[in-house]
Each structure stands twice: as structure tokens, then as C-alpha cells.
Chains A and B, each alone.
Chain A
Amino acid sequence: GQNIDQPTEMTATEGAIVQINCTYQTSGFNGLFWYQQHAGEAPTFLSYNVLDGLEEKGRFSSFLSRSKGYSYLLLKELQMKDSASYLCAVIENDYKLSFGAGTTVTVRA
């Protein structure tokens, strides 16, 4: 089993930067995903990290430290459409994906 912790809610201003932290405890680790989910919609893939370091993809970046059991998702130049829930998910040795409860980000004008 695993514990995946992330903050419940965050609020930021349009144009700003927000960092969503995720900590996890697993018996085996095969990668960490970030998904975005708008209200009433299905989750969609944002990023995948399996090695330590930063993965940058446009306005979104994801960081992983395996030794610390820690990841963050960085959202830059926030736009109103970025208001959504952001889900941290971990794959263990059995290759099933387990999700955290999600962080709801509200972007204000």
C-alpha cells in the first residue's frame, strides 16, 4: 500500500505561479504521474516522472525526488482555465496507479 498526500486547496491570482506538493510512501516505486481534472470531467494526463529532476512542458513543470518521496507540480503564468483539481498518482511495483485525493486550484482574476 501507499500514502499519497497533497494539499486540499490552493488559490492564486491570474498570471502568478503556484506549486502543488505531493509526498508519498510506497513499498516500491515505478513512477509518478500528475493529472488535471476540471469539474465534472475526466482526468487528463499532464506529466510523468520516473527519474529525479525536473520535467518541463510549456507552462507546467513537474519535479521528483525519489529519496525524499516528494514531487511537485509547478504551474506558471496562471490562466483562468487552469482552475481545476490536480491529482498526484504513484505506480508501485505491481504497476497499478494509486491516486492522492487531489488539490483544487482556484485562479482568481
Chain B
Amino acid sequence: IAGITQAPTSQILAAGRRMTLRCTQDMRHNAMYWYRQDLGLGLRLIHYSNTAGTTGKGEVPDGYSVSRANTDDFPLTLASAVPSQTSVYFCASSAAGGSPGELFFGEGSRLTVL
């Protein structure tokens, strides 16, 4: 089934540990995004990539890093997790970066940092 796959679905992590959330899409979309969703705050953009080889910072980038080595993969890394990074993380893609377009979301990764 075409779409976006995120892994892991859920993870409990000790503070200070390194964690990478994986995101893979098979729709050949140019643009990919990472959002976090917290109760009462909605979806907030962490990092984005308009095309393979480029990345940019969103609204809440601190404590996170991304890479975009190819079109399909867009991993999000927490170098040293803190409890405030407890959230649900959504990866999304759109057909064309740099132009308005419908976002397609993965099913989310629920991360708890203790």
C-alpha cells in the first residue's frame, strides 16, 4: 500500500538517550516534513525538506536534527532526549516542495521520555 511509513509506532525512552524516528514514503514526493503534536498546541513543524539533499528549520527545531540523503527517507534524530520531547510525532510529505499542496501523513510515532 502506497503511503508513508513511520517507525517505531511507540517508544519509551530514558532522558539523555539518542533516538531516531524513521520515515519512509513511496509516493516519490519531493517535500517531507516532521511535526510534533501536543494537546492544546496542535501540530508544530520541527524540520522540513523541499527536496532530497536540502533541509530547513521549522517552528520548533531545537533538540532535533534531520537528514535527507534520498527522496524516500527522512529520519528525525533526538541527540539527547528530554522529557519535554514527549509527544506524538508525525511525518508528512507533499508532491512539490515550495508550492502549496496537500500533505499526506504517516500514522505517527508516540514517544515518551522519562
- Which A residues form the contact surface with B (CB < 8 A)? 8, 30-31, 33, 35, 41-45, 48, 50, 87, 89, 91, 95-102
* Residues on the B chain within 8 Å of A35, using CB: 103
A44 cross-chain contacts in B, Cβ below 8 A: 105
Contact among B40, B48, B58, B105 with A42 in the assembled complex (CB-CB below 8 Å): B105
Set A45, A95, A101, A102: member contacting B97, Cβ < 8 A: A95
Q: Given A96-B48, A101-B40, check contact A45 B58 (CB 8 Å).
A: no
Do A97 and B107 touch across chains, with their CB atoms under 8 A apart?
Answer: no
Question: Complex: how many Å from CA A65 to CA B59?
Answer: 26
Min CB distance B51 to A, Å, is 12
One of A91, A98, A100 near B100 (C-beta < 8 A): A91
**A97–B103 touching, CB < 8 Å:** yes
* B62 contacts across to A, CB distance below 8 A: none
Name B's A-contacting residues (CB within 8 A): 33, 35, 40-45, 48, 58-59, 90, 97-100, 102-108
Contact in complex: B105, A101 (CB < 8 Å): no
Most chain B CB within 10 A, of A35, A45, A97, A100, is at A97
Give the one of A35, A89, A99 with max B CB within 10 A.
Answer: A99
Chain A, Cβ-Cβ closest to B110: A40
Would you list the 10 A-B pairs with minimal beta carbon distance, nearest first? A42-B105, A101-B42, A99-B43, A31-B100, A99-B42, A45-B102, A91-B100, A30-B100, A43-B105, A42-B107
Q: Is the CB of B98 within 8 A of A95?
A: yes
Q: How far is the CA of A30 from the CA of B100 in the complex (A)?
A: 7
